[in-house]
DNA sequence: CTTGATTACCGACCGACCGTCGGTATGTAA
DNA sequence: TTACATACCGACGGTCGGTCGGTAATCAAG
């Protein structure tokens, strides 16, 4: 095809390759993403490619790292600023993380697209484990403090945190569906769908936490998601 | 090595190959289980192998099928025989499935060993999904009937069933640890470990079901597991 | 402007792998 | 004995991930 190819800085070339790999990963299962395919799409030779990456798996690791690293510091900052009782702090945590996720909705949807690709189950697992590993310590603390304050009444801290994270897992799938619905014109339907999901998660969260009904933990209001729902 | 090889019936050969594959799978991640390795271990040629299986993945599918198919009819039978109120029926279901699992403990431990192999994450996922797919309809029915009878008070049937299954997931890992502990001489410790786990799951199950405290759902007693704990 | 070192980049090549194919040996039924 | 079915064989082909010797662009120092 093309004999003349540009010479880039190492970093530019790396990110260019990672961009292409991320794209391919959202349309093919990883095992079908051939090195040859990657080379063709990125416009670089095999030798050039292996000058920047040590292996095919190295690329996958780099892609996943890049997809997750941005969110590393988000949760912690949210918690450190929050005040009030345990329920209020938990509410702040939920709102903070959700808001952060909303701001990075496109990226998250991209990750979901990749993870949902048939054949990428292992990747999905890795991403989820990584996300949990990051969030678990903070959640543990929040729950433990709530128990100590007598606001929460959990059966077992670890299992509760685990189940909470599991209960929240499918949120973004529903969000994606809701946005889809809005895109087809049924704005009210999408909004209702999303609201129902939020209410459901809120009730389940409070039950798992054994939260005093007088001071419940709250999910963010539907209104916060309107911008997200109407985006392309 | 050996030039003379036996001629078997198609079914015998298939099961022989599947046995070998199952063994290999518990010591290697699937991608490291080369066809050549399989051939060598099974004592058959490539042509012979591909006479019985269409591909390497075909073998994996057959192995997984064989590992799960035996338990297909177990749960249903348990439910059909149970009587009494919703809580009692749920208790019967828990006891029935657990007892069945106990009777097949060795097989289950084998599956766990395979699933826990690093690199077999996708297999683990498939097995779990299959197991859930099988159990979900019955559990849905049990929960819905309980709600109709006013015994259970769940937030959402589907999410409740999902969380229940998730809560029970790690049971066999704990069981394996407990048995390990008994094997090293600390029988009381292993028993306590197991009992604690059962009590934990019981409390969490009742909370998720919103079960009336007067008629709780019960996990099997620790005593039923003594035989299992003392086995090799 | 040389000179030399560094490095982005190239593509022929390698070994391992999965799966195929023509052919052989061992049944079994007419 | 003949005819057919099938269990089995191993050389071979194509594809894949990865290597390696070499080329050319870039830059710093003399």
Give the per-residue pLDDT at A60: 95
Give the per-residue pLDDT at A198: 96
Q: How many C-alpha atoms does B108 have within 13 Å on its Cβ side? A: 21
The residue that leads in pLDDT, A227 or B75, is A227
Distance C1 C1' – A14 CA (angstroms) = 34
Q: Which nucleotide is nearest to A48 (CA to C1')?
A: C9
Q: What is the mean pLDDT of each run of 10 residues along chain B (232 residues)?
A: 68 96 93 96 96 96 85 64 87 88 84 86 86 91 96 98 95 90 94 96 98 94 90 73
Lowest mean pLDDT among A74-78, A100-104, B39-43: A74-78
The residue that leads in pLDDT, A24 or B72, is A24
- CA distance readout (Å), B52 to B19, B22, B70, B153, B222: 14, 16, 22, 52, 45
The residue that leads in pLDDT, B71 or A131, is A131
Give the per-residue pLDDT at A211: 95
From B32's Cα to the closest Cα of chain A, the distance in A is: 15
Give mean pLDDT, residues A133-148. Answer: 94
Distance C19 C1' – A43 CA (angstroms) = 31
pLDDT at A74 over 80: no
Q: What is the pLDDT of residues A194-223, one digit of tens each?
A: 999 999 999 999 999 999 899 999 999 999
Nearest to B200 among A121, A156, A208 (CB): A156
Give the per-residue pLDDT at A71: 65
From B163's Cα to the closest Cα of chain A, the distance in A is: 7
Q: CB-based contact (8 Å) between A200 and chain B?
A: yes
From CA B59, how far away is CA B63, in angstroms rounded? 6
A34 Cβ contacts chain D strand, under 7 Å:
yes
Give the per-residue pLDDT at B76: 61
Give the per-residue pLDDT at B230: 87
Measured to protein CB atoms, the chain D nucleotides within 7 Å are 6-12, 15-22, 25-26
Give mean pLDDT, residues A90-116. Answer: 87
Give the per-residue pLDDT at A162: 97
Q: How confident is the model at residue A18 (pLDDT cuts 50, 70, 90)?
A: very high
Give the per-residue pLDDT at A151: 96
pLDDT at A104 over 90: no
Give the per-residue pLDDT at A76: 62
From CA B154, how far away is CA B134, in angstroms rounded? 21
Give chain A's domains with CATH numbers: 1-53 (1.10.10), 56-230 (1.10.357)
Q: DSSP string covering chain A, please?
A: ---------HHHHHHHHHHHHHHHHTTS-GGG--HHHHHHHHT--HHHHHHH-SSHHHHHHHHHHHHHHTTTTHHHHHHHH--SSHHHHHHHHHHHHHHHHHHTHHHHHHHHHHHHSTT-HHHHHHHHHHHHHHHHHHHHHHHHHHHHTTS---S-HHHHHHHHHHHHTTHHHHHHHHHHHHHTT-HHHHHHHHHHHHHHHHHHHHHHHT--TTS---PPPGGGGHHHHH--
Give the per-residue pLDDT at B42: 96
One-letter-per-residue 3-state SS of B176-224: HHHHHHHHCCCHHHHHHHHHHHHHHHHHHHHHHHCCCCCCCCCCCCHHH
Measured to protein CB atoms, the chain C nucleotides within 7 Å are 7-13, 16-23, 26-27
Radius of gyration over alpha carbons of chain B, in Å?
21
Distance C16 C1' – B116 CA (angstroms) = 26
Give the per-residue pLDDT at A117: 87
Sign of CA pseudo-dihedral B174, B176, B180, B183: positive
Lowest mean pLDDT among A146-160, A177-191, A206-220, B60-74: B60-74
């Amino acid at each position: 095809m093309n004999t003349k190819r540009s010479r880039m800085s190492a970093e530019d070339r790396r990110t260019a390759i990672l961009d292409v790999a991320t794209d391919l990963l959202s349309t093919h299962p990883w095992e079908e993403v051939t090195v040859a395919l990657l080379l063709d799409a990125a416009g670089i030779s095999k030798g050039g490619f292996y000058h920047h990456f040590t292996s095919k798996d190295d690329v996958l690791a780099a892609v996943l790292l890049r997809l997750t690293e941005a969110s590393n510091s988000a949760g912690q900052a949210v918690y450190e600023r929050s005040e009030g009782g345990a329920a209020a702090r938990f509410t702040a945590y939920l709102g903070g993380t959700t808001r952060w996720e909303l701001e990075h909705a496109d990226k998250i949807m991209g990750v979901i697209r990749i993870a949902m690709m048939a054949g990428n189950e292992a990747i999905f697992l890795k991403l989820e484990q990584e996300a949990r590993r990051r969030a678990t310590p903070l959640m543990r603390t929040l729950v433990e403090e709530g128990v100590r304050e007598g606001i929460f009444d959990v059966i077992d801290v670890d299992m509760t945190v685990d189940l909470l994270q599991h209960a929240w897992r499918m949120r973004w799938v529903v969000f994606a569906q809701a946005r889809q619905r809005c895109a087809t014109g049924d704005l009210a339907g999408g909004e209702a769908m999303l609201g129902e999901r939020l209410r459901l998660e809120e009730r389940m969260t409070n039950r798992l936490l054994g939260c005093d009904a007088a001071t419940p933990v709250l999910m963010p209001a539907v209104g916060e998601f309107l911008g997200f729902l109407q985006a392309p």
